[in-house]
Structure 1
Amino acid sequence: MKLINFLDFKPFKDIMEKMKINKDEKIDIERIKIIEKVRIWKQLSSLSGLDIDINETVASENGFIKYNEFDKLVAYIRDQKYFGEKFSLRKFHIAYNCKTLSDSRKSRDASKYKIVQNKSPEFTINILSEDAKTVIEANVIKKLEVCTNCLKALNYKNFLNVSKSEQDKIKNEFSFEEFLGTEFDKNEELIKSYNLDDIENDRLRLYPKNWEEISYNYRKSKNWICEECRKDCSKNKEELETHHIDHNPSNCSFSNLKALCKTCHAKIHPHMQ
């Protein structure tokens, strides 16, 4: 079988051109992978989490939620609605084969999830009206409960074989630190071993030449309103920035962009604060 010469492979050459990399320059494929991994981690480890279609995740060997080499992830829905006069917070998920997540993968809820990994029991959510047209509270920090179906799917702490009172105790005393074990610290140490300044310089090389025009047109299409907290930035357009959902600055299709005020953008990229 003839191997592909990637330096003559047009899609790869197009990427190199966008990154302004000379064809004679040595390409470090491993470094490109590291850059992508760091970008994803920065969002995963923030309180806001990473926007994702839950179908993009996979099951880890032990039945946890896994994405792009990151294991033991937590999934939750950011936009939560009133139902009539009542409002109750939806639960967070830790098991890939949880019945709730399995049902969500087949419904419109699949694209509404965020995934996170940090030791905080708190989540950033928006509280919406029943028709989802009005934001009652934006970017509020709330404690959520662990999903019972997840505990069953994992048989977490022998959940299926203990009494109802013991099950309630497992739910009420669920600890992120205990659940994650060394997973979070391991990822943090790995990311810290990379040079963030170098990574940001690599990121800047990926932007297309007409990025400012693309960004302006996208923010204008959203009427200068932050898509996260709904802040109106029409009187101060510099307050609204354009975020790449997949963290790839060369992917500037509108479906990959999100208009965020500086405050919301900084929550996704903590180093911008």
Structure 2
Amino acid sequence: MKLTIDFSTLRDAASRMGAPVDIEPFDLQRPNPPLVRKEVKVDTTPPPELEIPEGGMELTDLEQIGTAHNLLTWQGQQVLLYIQDHRWKFEAARSDGEKGNKVHLSFCRTLEEMRDSGKFERYVVTRDHSEYFRITGKMHGWQEESADTDLKVCKFCLRKLNYGGYLAPGNKAAFREFSFIKFFEQYESFFPYHPSRKAGAPENYTEDWQEVSRRYRESREYVCEGCGVDLSRRQYLLHTHHINGVRSDNAEHNLKALCADCHSKEPGHVHMAVPHKVRQEIAHLRHEQHKTDTADWKEIFGLADPGLNGLLYHLKTLNAPLPEVGLDIQDERQAIVANLELAWPKAGVGIAISEVDASATKAENWRIYSVEKCLEQPEKLVALIQRQRRD
């Protein structure tokens, strides 16, 4: 039955109130235009009471510092620790950060020794998203000064995290090429708050960038050119990447459609914060579309949350069975109750970042382990997986 509705009275009333009256005709026979869903931007800035001043904050008690996933934390935030007061070696450290005190990422052997000796109060906690750290000390043998310098990371911390595969024989790159900016970015999924980004150069996108991006993603049918996941029903999860890093160069050969997860792993994208839930949503779609079927460790590294890299290096070295990445866990009614970062279904063993996912999966009779536990004893994890697969 065709409906005929007269909106003239409504238009007249709207006109008298000053509202625009160019109302598009209402047609039940014509399909509705597609809804445009904007990319969700999650505010990861901590509330004011949890802000650490730029340059760091002195500790008054060791109990202020916690650990999560083998990383240092303060009030639920990922932090770094270092001794700011360089005293008589200030001049040398200011000129060459290599000669200064080391910056700690984890509760390593050095911090344990400092705690046991009662010297922990000398440390400063910081979340500065930078490669430079504020140091103090004596200049010319007597004058108190302060300066910023490029202090280096603690090697004992790299060892504890197996960061960048640091424990592999002859691997010097993990230390030589270490970046604090990249380090914070790698573990963003583990924490609700992220370090603030220093204001840098303008992004220099062209005025028509939004339309250019939309057209390009549409031309690729909203499929990620990295992992192959189809995001046509989740278009807001697909970005357009500039391959050469020049954001004003919109030539088609310089563009690439990438899901938020793949995009964040591209070089030079430390400005991107991808919440854990977004990575999990992409992981769910990949698994649903069979985009995680692989027999290659390189692909596993590409698909997994970057915060798992240290553990993945252990698993690869120990010849562990390849895990499934982003596996959905269902209950007896086939409802999805959790998503595991890494899973070995035949062994009933998995690794979860979220405690909620871990609890829900344990209720389904899985053995679930934290990243921290697995980093401490990777050999036992691999032995368990292999034993359970045989049983």
When normalised by structure 1's length, the TM-score is: 0.45
When normalised by structure 2's length, the TM-score is: 0.33
Q: Which has the higher contact order (CA 8 A, sep 6+)?
A: 1
Q: Determine which structure has more spread, i.e. the larger CA radius of gyration.
A: 2
Q: Whose helix proportion is higher, 1 or 2?
A: 1
